[in-house]
Amino acid sequence: MLFSSITFLYYFLPATVLLYFLVPKKLKNFILLIASLFFYFAGEPLYSFLMIGASLSGYIHGLFIEKFRGSGLSKAALVSSLVVGLGLLGFFKYSDFFINNINGIFKTEIPLLALALPIGISFYTFQILSYTIDLYRGKAKVQKNFFDFTTYVALFPQLIAGPIVRYSTIQDEIDHRTHSFEDIAYGVGRFAIGLGKKILLSNTLAEFGVILGELSERTVLSYWAAAIAFTLQIYFDFSGYSDMAIGLGRVFGFHFLENFDYPYISKSITEFWRRWHISLGTWFRDYVYIPLGGNRVKKWRYVLNILIVWGLTGFWHGAEWNFIIWGLYYGIILLIEKLFLLNILEKLPSTVNSVIGRIYTLFFTVIGFVIFNAVGAGAVKETFSAMFGANGLTLCNEETLYYITSYLPVVIISAVLATPLMKNIYNRICEREAGNTVMGFIKPFGYIAILLVCTASLIDGSFNPFIYFRF
Active-site residue list: 317
Query: Considering Cα of 73, then 74, then 79, then 81, what sign does the dihedral take?
Result: positive
* Sequence-separated (6 or more) residues with CB below 8 Å from residue 77: 61, 64, 65, 68, 132, 136
Nearest Cα to Cα of residue 81 among 64, 63, 57: 57
φ and ψ at residue 465, rounded to 5 degrees: -70, 155
